[in-house]
Amino acid sequence: MTSQMDRWQARIQLIKQNLLDLGPMRPGALSEQYNVCGKPNCKCKDPSRPQKHGPYFQLSYVHEGKSTTEHVTRDMLDVVREQLTNYATYKKLTCEWVDLSIQIAKLQRKQSRS
């Protein structure tokens, strides 16, 4: 049993190091948007082959209970994608840390009863 706990604790230490190595992050989802303008003779209103304007990129997220949507320029796409990836990694690692901590607590409780 101690061997299992040692492995879990070692994994938690690795998770902590991985968290320290993460760069800037933000929650959310990035989406592509296309639209139709108001000009009557525009290509987006062509009856046979309409071509919507876009893509435009939009980031949507909830932080501290507030829903937010932001426009993302093309030159910022890679930065925003990296931030979203870092946040997803952060969430995954912290969930794993909590799961391992629960397993350790259960094992400690079981050992204290023995």
Does the pLDDT value for residue 16 go beyond 80?
Answer: yes
Domain boundary assignment for the chain: 2-113
Name, in order, each residue with C-beta under 8 angstroms of 90's C-beta and a sequence gap of 6 or more. 19, 22, 25
Interval 77-110: pLDDT, tens: 999 999 999 999 999 999 999 999 999 999 999 8
Does the pLDDT value for residue 75 go beyond 90?
Answer: yes
Amino acid at site 107 = L
Name, in order, each residue with C-beta under 8 angstroms of 75's C-beta and a sequence gap of 6 or more. none
CA distance 112 to 5: 14
